[in-house]
Each structure stands twice: as structure tokens, then as C-alpha cells.
Structure 1
């Protein structure tokens, strides 16, 4: 048995990543089987815990042998990456009689992420995950005691065999604990004393509790009497206004079983395997179990739901998710999974734009774009290569309370291949009532859906729009029904007076690339920056005429199924050197709103990102920018987040040259292929097999690359050791050479161990400018 203790920050598991121990010796005196021993599927070893990995060693000759074992991560390619230093064990092989261990085997017991007690033949053996070595050949009784029940198994151990047992609540019986079951022969004497005098202790506790409650009531009465006297003595302006105690209300609302299910929308290709992510948050006060995964109170976990549908277009399916609540009862919750399947051999994009009323009918405008090098037809409308056109879809009277409907478009390619494409339209009974000018009933329908727990942001936007329309009805006798759009408008419209014509919308010209569907919300005035994930605009928010920064994401770069998880992770970060996400939305496009950075003036021109900065810049300015950059990276590292793509286009300047980092975890982009022109990429990102896996030191490399770029105006080559240090460009820049050499070293083990070390050296250099 080879035992390793997890001293890292994350758990070892056999799930998305496969962790195990690998033998790397090369002695011909022995054979180690298996050379790689993985953790059992579904098991997890948390920080601070140990696990024993069984290996069978067969000797071929006598002599001295040096064994080497290391914890590794198994890659999809079949290769392994070490995540620990190797451990060396010396062994001397001598001749002798066969050892009794040849008549024994091993038993492995796992319970997924749970740590439950195990008994072997009636004796305590430890907590899962557990390996029981040197078990004599024969039948042995194994008992696994979980909170959901007890699982018993009879295992036949054979010579040199390894048996695996996985605890499953479905295979367990109900455990009823009694006083006798707790008072075992080897039980804790303190526990025995407590249980023996249980009723005496219980009586003392009840008495003390009663006295405490009476005292609190008496004290509360005195306080209220004092408050009553003060309220009559002090003037009204000094009296505290009455209000609700939100802390008390929150505590009352907390239930022992409150579970939040948040499905993540998926984007797939026709023919691919499809698994949707379901984010489950335990909002209650007791642990729950979902798919054998134990979720503690306040903890969020991700589970997957497989989809077998393969028809192209927008889709939605309902599934029941079963879970065991904090009281051990099995419950079920129906969730709605939404996803989009792209056609296998076509490149199409589409989104819902708005509703209009035309000749008494409610019309949905769907924008569809042909991204193929050949023309095609969508519902008999010809689309040339690269062309985007709107398709008018007539809406029927809704016969249910569904929030959306799905329409079928007929797509016809140049080789006469035809197929139906399902598209989602956010049309419902509330929209129908609005266009029927039944505004009160429409508002009531939207309120009912929101009260039922539907947290779709579109419902709230429609409701708020109808409220404003009703409030302004005393000033305006007629309502322009085209105001109902997928985003709430705040622009002036010209209404065609002729009955039967569609309502027209008058909008100011937008910047190139700014989505038309966002024009009712923002009035763009300038392009701030373009990066690999999208475009940042300077815009005027129509609701209050406040200037903000709006970042429109390119959904073609990051899969839609991962966007929201990454946005939520970045939104939780709050630091002066991180651009804080104020608002975001996904319909019809993913966009994020930030406070507008002040920028900096260079050559009488205001610039916002480092990408627009003319380099090189003075050393003092470079130090100030890089120090703030390092502070921001230090903060996200302490939150367990890595950036991995710290390009100048995602770094913005605020007052006093304070940098602000934009973007979020770009692991999806990194996995899909690193662009060749991305010069901040570290060696381990280009070639992990040679330089190791990316980590905190990857971000340190990128901060150093930015510093070098600001000082010299040059970019680095990640495959070559730096040859031209700052002193090569200016003789007085020799003081910056050590920081550059240390931070961008091609061997990550030679870089700073922590970015705080780099910050300390920058502070020392900044002090020289104050003298």
C-alpha cells in the first residue's frame, strides 16, 4: 500500500479529472502492477485527508530496488501529468520462504464525496474512501453506515485480489440507532457518561433555557419602556423611523430544506454528445444528497443531465430531479432545460428581435443570418452568403401559460436539402393581452408568473414596461404596441398613422457591430476596446442618461453553456483593480454593463485600454500600472480564480493610472486553441507536456510580459528565454532587469512563488521616485 496525503487546495477525485498514483521506477528486478492506480470512480479525497493506493509488486531476483511513486492527473490523450513531487522508497529483495501475505487480498470502499464509517467483520475499520489491506482469503462481511442508511456486503477475498465496494443509498437499509448501539465496548467514556445521565442533563438544560427566556422577556420589556419614554422626550427628527427587521425576516424564511436549481443553457452541434449543466445550491440548513453527491448548506454543486435530442434549433425539455432532503426524505423537483442544437453542416445564427402589430395580427420578427459561402432559403426568403434578414412569424392565440412558444422554419440549401429549424419566441398570454389592449389583465398575468417563482428576466422587463404604460395612460391615450420588445426601449418612435401598416421604429445610427436589439437600452457613442471575447463600447444608458461601458460577448468564441457560470464567478469578485459587472443579460445576445473607466490622456487623445497606449511609456507610469495589475491578480488568486489571458485589450485605465482588469475565466477559450498572435501566453500554455500545467505562475508571467511591453515597447516570445532586458534599451533601466528576468522565466519553477513577492520589489522601486 502506498499512502498519499492531499496537502493541496483542491480535492482529488475521479470525475471530470482523473487522479491517481503512478509508479515510475525502471528496475528490472521487480514488476509493479498496475503501473497507474486511479482513485475509484466517484470518490473524492479532500484537503488534509489520506488515501492508500494498492500495488502488487512481484520480485524476479534479489537486490536493492528504489521505488518512485507520484500523484498524477490522467489526460484524455492517455498521458499523465505530475501534480506532486515523486516519493522514493528503498526495498531490499532477499531469498526466503513465501510470506503469509500471499494468502490475502485487499478491499477498497468508497462513498463518492461522502466520508462514512466502515466495519469489517464487526470491527470499525475507518472512514471512506478506504483501502483495507492484508485481508485473509475467505468470506468477509463489510458494513458501510451512511446517514441515508446502512449497506451490508459479503465479499469473497481471493489471493492477491482487489475488491471495490461503492456505497449507494439505494442499496442500503434503514438504520435505527439505540442507546445500546452507541455504547460499544470501545466507545468514548465521556460519551458513555453523558448517555448514562441523559435525562438529568436534559432537565438541567431545559431549566437553564427557561430562565434565560424569562430574563430576555423581562429585559425586552424594560427596553421597550425606555424607548417609549425617549420617543416622548426627543423631537420627532431624532426618532428612528420604524421599519422591518430584515435579519429576523430572513431567519424566519430559512427552511431546513430549500434547494435552488439553476439550469445552464447549452449550445451543441448536431451529432455531438450533449450534457447540460445543472447548478444546485443548498439554501437550507441541513445537507442534501443529489445523484449521490452530498451538498452542504450554502454550497453549490454542478451535476449533468444528458440530452438525447438531435433535431436542430432551439429546444426545451422538462426533467424531474430527485434528491434526499435534510430529513432523509426523497423529494423531486421538475426543471426546464433549454438548449440550442446547431445544424451539422450549416453555419446559421438567429435571434428574436421584437414584436409588431400588423393588419390586426401579432407578428414576431426573427433575425436570421447565413454565415455559409453559399445562398440558402429560410421560409422561402432567400439569404445570400453573409446576409442577415428579418422573418415575420404570425403569432396565434396562446392556449396555455407557457412563457415561450417554438416555431418551425423550413431551411432549404442549394443542393435542395431541406429540414425544419425550431426557433424560440418569447410569446405568451401576457403579450397577447397587451396587444389586445387589456393592460390590467396583462400586468396581472406577468405578476402571477413572477409570484409562482419564474425568475426569467424577460417577465420582469415586460411587467415594468406595462406598469409605465399604464402610469402614463392619462397623458397618452393610445399605446404603441411595438414597444414590447425583447429588451425594454426608451427611445422616441414614429407611429405610422395609416391603419394596417406595421409600427416603425426611428433609431439613431449605431456603431458598427453594436447589436440593433440593444439600441432601445443603450445609445453607443464610441468603441472602447476589442478583445478576443467581444467588444467594449462607450454608451449612454437610455433609462437615466448615464454613461457606462457595455461589453458585447462573441458567443462563437465561448460556448453558451459555459458563459453564465463564468460570468457569475467573475461577478462575485470585488476589488478596486477589477472591473465590476453591474448588470448582464443573455437575450438576445450576451452583454455586460460596467462603470465607465475614466481613461488617460496621451497625445491629446483619451484612451481607455492598454491596447491603445503608445509604448514605451515612462518607467514610473509603467510601475504604477503594473503594481495595480499585480494587486488585482493577487486578489483573484486568493479567491481561487485564474485569468490566463491578460492581454492589453482587457486592461483598462481609471483615475491615477489605476488599471482595471476586465474579462473572466477564459479556460474555455484556452481549451479551444490559443491564437498564434497572443504574445502574453506563457510557455506552459503552449506546451504543457514540456513546461507543466498552467497555474498562478502563468498569470505572474503575463504580468511580467505586460511590464516588459510598457517599458520597452517590445513583445516576448514564450518559447525563448528573454535576451534583450530593459537595460538593452536604456542603460538606466538596469534596475528593472531582475523583476523581468524573475517574472517571465521560461521555467515556471524559477519565477516568483507568489505575486506578492513581485509587488514588494515594485514598491521598493517606486520609493526611489519619492526621494
Structure 2
């Protein structure tokens, strides 16, 4: 092995993404003209898995040497593969010796950004190779085989001998024909591969190419058996026949009463918690907790914003709401989990666009299915920097007119439909609309744009105009409502349909009932007549007419329309806002990047994006320009005292025990998931825990969880003793999150915060003797000695389930 040295600029401490050099098989000496493929092995020391999906992780060779050339400087993990924390992976590099001398090859684990730039997430290691003159050595007569199975870790055999678990790179494979066997959970895939000298052969596990294997054994009957053996065997088969007869009779009896037995078994399973039963069926547990159907898959496309000329990939969030695991694009999705898949689009026409894509997947029973989804996106034109927004409808000369606001951000004037828009100016353009010819929820109209001396180009603009709106302006209100209801009942989940149905219902309910008054409803999204006597239907322009929401940055007003501030924490603010591009409502988090270094904030965001679970607030998109902000799914909140509460920080505590139990159980399930991904939170404050439908908690704030590593917030009452005094109580770990989950539970039940010394903690039974059943959980989670706490968060979940099962009433909302 050649000489190695570490870069002095090392990575230290606990990081979400990290790596460490383990070994390599590069030769210490080479000869001019000699080439070969060699491996460098790195170990994942981070808290989250390496992957080539949401985050692109690989190893880069930093060298610009005239002594040795490297065929490809960056070697990424195979697409869809994961290397979990504590595991290692061999990265192959092909090199050729060119001239005599000493060559220093520097390697490091890197993260590849969309811009093409890389960021090292491990220490750099230098491998020195001496190229000397003399008799040229023979080229390496071996190759490598790279085996991947997406996120699965499956056993691999090379020519019948165990080689390891996927993802796997097998080095030093002799040239020739070899057999690779990948053993799935229920099937086996066998592949023949030809290895050429210095080559890298890739094999990806696919359930469609695997076969179910049934093992057989040799017969017990021997050709040359003696009489004694024949006598023993004959008596054996007689007894076997009698046993078969009795078994058949027993089976018939069981079949007769099977209906009653199944009913009894189901009833018992509903009553007894998993901790009491002999074994717990995970599918049944998931079904009862989440009320899942056998086969439900939710495809949620995310609207995209692109520029002309760039590569365009739209994101689709796939959530498995069924009881069995599914496979989408060779990615396994367990029940209750979700994954992000990418769909590339080739369209490059400027404006608003949409297209239908078919996504194939394999359901829990192995059946091939497909789902057609509609992808919506906006492409900014290259010729002119302009933005556009549909503003309102007007009814003019018997025609429905759509008003579109155009803003010119270019340094030169722009013309559209005989209207000149100066640089930095906004103007309105009228588009005449005809009667819709189909039941589409929106129409697309073309604007002709003239930018300077360049050729004019058409700009597609999405208008939320449909048959329901047309019927409304035709004063056929009943038919309009029927159309909107028909669309919703047919399963169309377009937010435009829902929005206008509610608006029309509201306006008609406020009217006096006559057609005249119904057409002259004042205010809101439908106004009546303007100064020229035109009937107007005005969609609220929150960008310009709505009052400013305190704290919302002006630099984002071209992208979002804020409506309310819903939460704040130590690292930023959370707003309820709607995208300008498609009017979808989201939660928008604005980060104060001055509190933590930007590189540290981005590491936390990258780890957060990789987390997909029902109790994790999902990131849709994030950006650092013009400021750091994150798009997240919008939680529905809960109703308390006739007001909507989004985060636990806004709850009035204490709350009823059943509500506290439901929230804490969901919080614990989210913690269990991130622990299994190798991630720790360390800052589970009420302000980062949001409430969704059915009091389902959503954990956020992973970007702020780095604060305890840099500076401990002095007023943070959820911090564990080991975070305040690691010399005395040890380093933080999984049990730190368990402590904080117990602190939240106690806070919800009693309104009390824990004492960091552990000596003066007030238990819920202090306020109500009937709350004594909760004391044992809180005492165990808040113990100063972390060794006395629950070993795993799953133990806490079992105790919570036992208490919940003893309560007969369900909770719908917090009073």
C-alpha cells in the first residue's frame, strides 16, 4: 500500500454527513504506460446515510498531475444506493501512469451540488505513487464488480461464495465469466457478468428479474435398501397415512368454525396492546394506528420553477398509505413512509405548462400498477426577465376577461399586446376568454412578448378559468355549483376547484337569493362593478394589496404571498404563504443565517430533506438566494379555545391526558424513525413541533438542532443534564431525545418544565391523583442518569400504548 497522510484541516465533532478513510489497494510503484483500476475505501462517520438521490455523495480525486492521469475524478454511489452510518464502501478509480516521478493523489468524500461544485465532508487523504522507469509492468489482469439494490441491504455471492451486503464493490475479480447471486427476502436474482481487465461491471438488483427458489432434498428411498430398512419404512408410511387422515378431519373441523375464530382473534388483537401479546404483527399495528387500507399510494407532484435552457426535473412525493411495502422505480417504500422521485421533462417553451406522466410501481402483493399524475411547472424566458401573475376576472361587453399583471425586471422595455412596460414597471394585460370546451380546471392563454430587438416569443399563462366560472358569470348559479361538486366527487384534487367552490358557496349564501343580488355580491374574491360599470370577479392580490405580514422579507414577495406568521423559534420564523406560481399554500420558513455558519445550516437542511416519515414535517424546496428559506408542507393545526394552534408553543397547557398521549406517541414514533436513520435532534422544543390533522405531531427544526453543539441556549428548558454538563453526565445521544420527549409529555399534562438537576421535578399526580399512571413514564424519561432512562424510544412507545389501550374514548381535537 502506498504512503498515506491526512489533511491538517480535519473534520471533528458529530456531523450529519461525514466520512473517514479506511484502506485502498493502489500500488506503491507503477511504470509509464501501466494502467489499472483500484479501490479506495471510506467509512460513513456521519449521522445520516450516504446516497445518490436527494443528496449526491461520492469520492473525489483532487489531482492535476502530469505523472498519473485519473479517468474520472468523481465516483458517485450507484443511483438509489445507501451507505448507512457505521458502514463502509469501496469507490473504484481507473488510473494510468504517464511519466516518471512522484504523484500525490488526494481523495475525500464529497457532496455534489446541482451547480457541479463539490464540498468535502471528510478529511482528505493523500496516496503517494512513485512512477519509475525500467521494465514496464503488465497491466492489472483483474476488474471490479459493483452491486447495488437501492436502499436495501441484500446478501451477495460471487461464484457461490459470500461477498458482502449491497451496496458493494467487489475488487480484484479475475478476468473472465462470473456469476453474481443477490438474495432478496423472498426471491433470488442470478446474473452472469463478464469481467474484463481494468473494467468496472455494474449490477442492480431488480425484483422483476428475480425468481422464487424452492429448496428440495434427496429422496429417502434407497435403491439398494435391505429388508429391515424396507420394513421400517413401510410401517413409517402406514403411520404417516393415519396421521394424515386425522389431520384432514381436524382441518375440516377448524374450517367450519374458522369464521368465529377469526372474529375472536381480531377482537382480542384490538383489545390487547403489543406489549402484552406474545408477538406483535407490525402490519396490524400500523393498520390500527393509522387506519390504513390494504393498498393506498399517494402521489403528490411538486410544482417546479425553471429557466429556459437548463435541465428540468420535477419532484413527486410518493407516500405509502397501505399495509405492505411497495416498490417505485426500484425504491422500496415501507407502510407509512414516503420517498421523493424525480421526473425529467424535455419541454423548454417559456411560461406556465403542465404534462401528464405515468408512474409504474409494484404493490404489496407484487402486482404491477401505474398511476397517471399531472405535473405543473413554470419556465422563465431567456430573452427577457419578466414575471407574471393572474390577478382577476372582469365581465365586459358580454365576455369574461382575465387580467394578468406583467412586471418587467429587464433593463430594456418590453411590449405585449400593444402595451409597453418600462424597466421595473408593472402593467395589466387583458385576455379574452371563450366558453370552455372541456372540464379542465384551468386554461392556458398565449401572450406575445417583444423584448428589444430580439424576435418575439409566445408566453403561456395559466388562467384558473373553467366551466364552473363560465356558468357563474352566465348567472347559472345552480349549474355552477353542480359542476364544481361533480369535479370534486370524481376524485379531482385540484386546489383551484376547491377554492372557487368555497368562494361561490360563500357569495351565494351571502346574497338575498335573487339573480340580480347574486350577481352583485360585494367584496372578497368576487367584486361587482368597477368605475366603468363592468362586472368584476377579483382574485385577491396578496402581493400588492394585502397588508404586509410583519417579519416577512420583501425580497420574497415576487415568489410568495404571505398570509400569517404561524410560528417562531431560535433560528427563524414560519409563515403561512401561497406560491405565486401555482397558488399552492405552504409553510415558509425564513432562517436567520447569522446565528450559525451557513455551511452548518446547509448540512442540517440536507439531513432534514432525507427524512421521510408521517411525523416529520417534510421539506418541499429550499434556497439560499436571496436569503435562506425553506418550503415545507403546511400543517393543518388544531383548534383550541376557538383559535387555530399550529405549534405546541402556542398551546394553552395543561391539556386533557388523551390529547397529550396522542401527541407524545406520535412524537415518539417520529423520534424512533430518525434514530433508525442515525440522526439525533437534541433540541425538541415546543416551537419546533407542529400539529396536523388528528393531533398528529410533525417534528421540524432540524436546522436549529445544531445550536446545542455550538452554544447551548440558556433559557432552553428541554435540554438534558448531559447537554449542560457532559463531563459529569456523559455525552448526548439517543437518550437525550428520549429525555426531551418526556419533558414535552410532562409539559402537556401538567404545564410544568423539568428541573435540570432532577431533584425538584413535579409529577402530574401532584395536581391530580388520577394522573399517577403517567408518573412512571415521566420519571423514567427525566432521570438525571441517562443509563436509568429507557434504552430505546420504542420502550416508551410500548408504555404509552398500554395506557392508551386502557382509555375507551377517542380524542378529536383539543378543547
Fold match (TM-score > 0.5) = yes
Query: Is 1:142 paired with 2:174?
Result: no
User: Using the alignment, how far apart are the partners of 2:52 and 2:263 within structure 1?
Assistant: 50
Query: Is 1:380 paired with 2:384?
Result: no
Give the structure 2 partner of residue 415 of structure 1.
453
User: Using the alignment, how far apart are the partners of 2:442 and 2:357 within structure 1?
Assistant: 18
Give the structure 2 partner of residue 178 of structure 1.
214
Structure 2 SS opposite 1:478: helix
**Taking structure 1 as reference, are residues 585 and 67 closer, same or farther at Cα in structure 2, changes over 3 Å only?**
closer
User: Using the alignment, how far apart are the partners of 2:158 and 2:587 within structure 1?
Assistant: 59
**Taking structure 1 as reference, are residues 249 and 585 closer, same or farther at Cα in structure 2, changes over 3 Å only?**
farther
Give the structure 2 partner of residue 515 of structure 1.
543
User: Equivalences for 1:492-641 in 2 at 5 Å?
Assistant: 495=529, 501-503=533-535, 515-516=543-544, 518=546, 524=547, 528-529=550-551, 531=553, 533-534=555-556, 553-555=557-559, 579=573, 581=575, 584=578, 586=580, 641=608
User: Using the alignment, how far apart are the partners of 2:453 and 2:68 within structure 1?
Assistant: 64
Contact 2:155 2:182 (8 Å CA) reproduced = yes
Which protein has greater RCO, CA pairs closer than 8 Å, 6+ apart?
Answer: 2
User: Using the alignment, how far apart are the partners of 1:108 and 1:390 within structure 2?
Assistant: 58
Give the structure 2 partner of residue 467 of structure 1.
505
Give the structure 2 partner of residue 40 of structure 1.
78
Give the structure 2 partner of residue 268 of structure 1.
306
Contact 2:146 2:201 (8 Å CA) reproduced = yes
**Taking structure 1 as reference, are residues 282 and 27 closer, same or farther at Cα in structure 2, changes over 3 Å only?**
same
**Taking structure 1 as reference, are residues 159 and 666 closer, same or farther at Cα in structure 2, changes over 3 Å only?**
closer
User: Using the alignment, how far apart are the partners of 2:388 and 2:218 within structure 1?
Assistant: 64
User: Using the alignment, how far apart are the partners of 2:441 and 2:213 within structure 1?
Assistant: 49
User: Using the alignment, how far apart are the partners of 1:112 and 1:308 within structure 2?
Assistant: 26
Give the structure 2 partner of residue 358 of structure 1.
396
Structure 1 residue aligned with 2:155, among 102, 106, 117?
Answer: 117
Structure 1 SS opposite 2:310: coil
Contact 1:289 1:324 (8 Å CA) reproduced = yes
User: Using the alignment, how far apart are the partners of 2:267 and 2:705 within structure 1?
Assistant: 59
Aligned-residue offset at 1:135: 3.6
User: Using the alignment, how far apart are the partners of 1:358 and 1:37 within structure 2?
Assistant: 62
Query: Is 1:405 paired with 2:443?
Result: yes
Query: Is 1:8 paired with 2:46?
Result: yes
Contact 1:641 1:665 (8 Å CA) reproduced = no
**TM-score (ref. length: structure 1):** 0.57
User: Using the alignment, how far apart are the partners of 1:516 and 1:383 within structure 2?
Assistant: 18
Give the structure 1 partner of residue 624 of structure 2.
669
Contact 1:357 1:481 (8 Å CA) reproduced = no
Structure 2 SS opposite 1:349: strand
Structure 1 residue aligned with 2:428, among 372, 378, 390?
Answer: 390
Structure 2 residue aligned with 1:427, among 465, 470, 475?
Answer: 465
Q: Deviations over 1:449-475 (max 9, x none)?
A: 122232222222211222233334446
User: Using the alignment, how far apart are the partners of 1:297 and 1:588 within structure 2?
Assistant: 30
Moved more, 343-352 or 293-302: 293-302
**Taking structure 1 as reference, are residues 367 and 152 closer, same or farther at Cα in structure 2, changes over 3 Å only?**
same
User: Using the alignment, how far apart are the partners of 1:76 and 1:3 within structure 2?
Assistant: 25
Give the structure 2 partner of residue 238 of structure 1.
none
**Taking structure 1 as reference, are residues 480 and 362 closer, same or farther at Cα in structure 2, changes over 3 Å only?**
farther
Structure 1: which 5+ residue stretches go unaligned?
Answer: 93-97, 184-196, 222-246, 519-523, 535-552, 596-608, 612-625, 643-663, 675-694, 708-751, 765-771
Moved more, 142-151 or 253-262: 142-151
Q: Deviations over 1:459-495 (max 9, x none)?
A: 222112222333344466524547699x746xxx664
Aligned-residue offset at 1:431: 0.8
User: Using the alignment, how far apart are the partners of 2:444 and 2:558 within structure 1?
Assistant: 24
**Taking structure 1 as reference, are residues 68 and 589 closer, same or farther at Cα in structure 2, changes over 3 Å only?**
closer
Contact 1:356 1:482 (8 Å CA) reproduced = no
User: Using the alignment, how far apart are the partners of 1:753 and 1:637 within structure 2?
Assistant: 17
Give the structure 1 partner of residue 351 of structure 2.
313
**Taking structure 1 as reference, are residues 337 and 211 closer, same or farther at Cα in structure 2, changes over 3 Å only?**
closer
Contact 2:106 2:127 (8 Å CA) reproduced = yes
**TM-score (ref. length: structure 2):** 0.54
Query: Is 1:448 paired with 2:486?
Result: yes
Give the structure 2 partner of residue 347 of structure 1.
385
User: Using the alignment, how far apart are the partners of 1:30 and 1:610 within structure 2?
Assistant: 46
Contact 1:263 1:279 (8 Å CA) reproduced = yes
Structure 2 SS opposite 1:446: helix
Structure 2 residue aligned with 1:329, among 346, 367, 378?
Answer: 367
Q: Deviations over 1:490-518 (max 9, x none)?
A: xxx6647x9x93026999xx9xx963465
**Taking structure 1 as reference, are residues 420 and 108 closer, same or farther at Cα in structure 2, changes over 3 Å only?**
closer
**Taking structure 1 as reference, are residues 464 and 142 closer, same or farther at Cα in structure 2, changes over 3 Å only?**
same
Aligned-residue offset at 1:276: 1.8
User: Using the alignment, how far apart are the partners of 1:272 and 1:88 within structure 2?
Assistant: 36
Query: Is 1:84 paired with 2:122?
Result: yes
Aligned-residue offset at 1:164: 2.6
**Taking structure 1 as reference, are residues 514 and 398 closer, same or farther at Cα in structure 2, changes over 3 Å only?**
closer
Contact 1:144 1:167 (8 Å CA) reproduced = yes
Give the structure 2 partner of residue 290 of structure 1.
328
Moved more, 159-168 or 135-144: 159-168
Contact 2:150 2:331 (8 Å CA) reproduced = yes
User: Using the alignment, how far apart are the partners of 2:139 and 2:62 within structure 1?
Assistant: 24
Give the structure 1 partner of residue 37 of structure 2.
none
Aligned-residue offset at 1:43: 2.7
Contact 1:148 1:328 (8 Å CA) reproduced = no
Structure 2 residue aligned with 1:106, among 110, 123, 144?
Answer: 144
